[in-house]
Amino acid sequence: MERFKEKLKNRDISPTLIRLKILEYLENNTDHPGVDTVYRDLKEELPVLSKTSVYNTLNLFAEKGLAMKLTVSEGLAGFDSNPDPHFHFVCDICGIVYDLDIMPSFFRKKDIEGHAIDSIQGYFRGQCRNCRESEK
């Protein structure tokens, strides 16, 4: 828990119990959970938890650069504990979002054609390997 406290303090975020638990959850769940999933999975452990506190905490993490907010389809947002630029694969069948381990050269640039780049999000869509296997 000390590691999570330090991460929050380094981003000028007060380390409350709810924030610590949400950060721990995000880092232990690489499936890019949304507000409803985080709330559902932590509600039993944190009875005082509300969807509003989860929503506000995840958005604060994104604002402070501790997480990345992903909008993979209209109305569906997930959060990634890895705020560094990287691509994602979205399965059109099961909806799971995977990190992809590819690094195009333009990710390393801070400026493209005179435009200052603050963040980059890239998505590939299709059928994930699990869904393809289950179809066979």
DSSP per-residue letters across 2-20: HHHHHHHHHTT----HHHH
- pLDDT reading at 50 higher than 70: yes
Q: What is the DSSP letter of 125?
A: E
Q: What are phi and psi of 59, to 5 degrees?
A: -70, -35
Residue with tokens 């780049």: 117
Distance CA 74, CA 84 (A): 23
Residue 76 pLDDT > 70, yes or no?
no
Question: Is 23 a residue whose pLDDT tops 70?
Answer: yes
pLDDT of residue 74: 64
pLDDT at 114 over 70: yes
d(CA 65, CA 89): 21
Residue environment code for 88-110, b if the CB has 16+ CB neighbours within 10 A, otherwise e: bbbbeeeeebbeeeeeeeeeeee
Check: CB of residue 127 under 8 Å from CB of residue 92. yes
Check: pTM over 0.85? Answer yes or no: no
Q: Tell me the angle at which helices 35-42 and 51-63 cross, rounded to the nearest 10 degrees.
A: 120
- Residue 26: closest CA among 90, 86, 69, 87: 69
Q: Which of 31-40, 45-54, 82-91, 113-122 is the least confident region?
A: 113-122
Rounded-to-integer distance, Cα 48 and Cα 32, Å: 23
- Our CA dihedral for 44, 17, 7, 71, rounded to 10 degrees, sits at 50
